[in-house]
Amino acid sequence: MHEVFWLIEVVWRPALLACLAGVASVGIVAAMAPSLFRRICEHSGRQLDLSRLCRFLERPIDVDQYLIRHPRLLGLASIASCAVLAYLLLLVR
């Protein structure tokens, strides 16, 4: 049982905080600079081939049309979710 707590404290918590920091930084860029976010989305828009994993996911879904239209909403939602998750990870034990 002690190993599980060690795994959570040493491995998962820092990894989750690093992921939250990345998502929060994307949210800040989307909320504060929509034109920069739009340019980043245009350059990084790559399609993954998931046909081997699941036939349901073969059909490409274009989420860029929704994200580029509402970058401030995306940014605020990601910042809010990061704040809630960081609160849960850091303050609630």
Terminal Cα-to-Cα distance of the chain (whole angstroms): 17
pLDDT at 53: 59
pLDDT at residue number 17: 83
Closest CA relative to residue 65, chosen from 38, 44, 46, 90: 38
**Helix then strand then coil, % of the chain, to nearest 5:** 75, 0, 25
Consecutive 10-residue runs of the chain (93 residues): their mean pLDDT?
A: 66 82 87 86 66 63 77 87 82 66
Three-state secondary structure call for residue 25:
helix
Residue labelled with tokens 């049982």 = 1
Q: What is the pLDDT of residue 4?
A: 63
pLDDT at site 5: 66
- Dihedral sign, CA of 86, 87, 88, 89? positive
pTM given for the model: 0.49
